[in-house]
Amino acid sequence: MRKRAFAFAFVSSALAALIAVTAGCAVEETPRRPDAASAGIRPLTDVEQLRISDAQQRLIRDCMTRQGFEFREAERLSLEESRTLGYVQDDIDWARKHGYGSRIQAKEDRARRANPNLAYRASLTPQRRAAYDKALDGGLEAPMISADLPGGGTIRKKVGGCAAESERRLYGDLEAWFRADKVAANLRPLYVPQVLRDKKFKAALKAWAQCMKRAGHSYADPPAARRAAALLPTAGTSPDEAFETERELATDDATCARATSLKAVGAERERFYVDRLRDRYGEALDTSRRIQHEAFARAAKLVGPRA
């Protein structure tokens, strides 16, 4: 299970910081026609993103093997377990089965702690361990690339070893992809506060809250419901009882989201406000999407889809 900040999309942990940092302004409700490039480049789906991630693991494994080291591909969740949870989750059947995904998250955490690559690295001599690190990501002397972020600041990334080789195999021009992708991925502070203040979105959110109240829950928004669910294991109930309550709450949440079209409204308003940024950041958005589609085409030749 993956979480991301705004897909429609935005997640509770990011919202408070975004609102505090960025003050929006009134926007004239004049939709823009997307240019020819953007019209033909859709964002990748979660399924496609997962395939790129799995292909990168395969490429790193093969590269490390050539360097004389063991490397195990990360344990994969099923496709059902790997879904992205955004600000709104309106899949009622999924909520009925998984709640908010707490048990999937616990499964991920266990796999992360039991990562065989960590144990393998720890078993190496100091000299071999240093060689392993250099083979994997270039070690301490790996070159760096950087990207300026839309809201200010700079982000840097090491580009050495098998990790960088795997990305070059998938993305081609690693620097062009990194710079465009970091701009595209960090536009949220510029549009999230505007979505949250948008009249259409606020009306849909109010309808969701009223629906939840009729179901016996008093929450202002989906993140508040999830925070309440996260506290259930500490409320003195058994794990099974806590999960059952989580599933019931998540099911009501998804049912109300579906009934009020909250996800659809949020996605439409997100597109509107992102489009307002296209004059300044459209080239980065299009470049990021184009390179991601090229990466997916390469990944599809290396690994199959998740079951």
Query: pLDDT by residue for the chain (307 residues), tens digit each?
Result: 655 444 554 333 332 322 222 223 333 333 343 443 444 588 999 999 999 999 999 999 999 999 999 999 988 999 999 988 889 999 999 999 999 999 999 999 999 999 999 999 999 999 999 999 999 999 989 999 999 999 899 999 999 999 999 999 999 999 999 999 999 999 999 999 999 999 999 999 999 999 999 999 999 999 999 999 999 988 788 999 999 999 999 999 999 999 999 999 999 999 999 999 999 999 999 999 999 999 999 999 999 999 8
Tokens linked to 247: 């599933």
The dihedral sign for the CA sequence 291, 137, 46, 13:
negative
Tokens linked to 250: 């998540």
Sequence ranges of the domains in the chain? 46-108+115-301
Does the pTM surpass 0.95? The reply is: no
As a whole number of angstroms, the distance between CA 294 and CA 182 comes to 17
Tokens linked to 191: 């549009």
Instruction: Give the per-residue pLDDT at 7.
Output: 52
With contact defined as beta carbons under 8 Å apart, do 12 and 227 qualify? yes
As a whole number of angstroms, the distance between CA 53 and CA 2 comes to 12
What kind and span of H or E run contains 157? strand 154-158
With contact defined as beta carbons under 8 Å apart, do 166 and 73 qualify? no
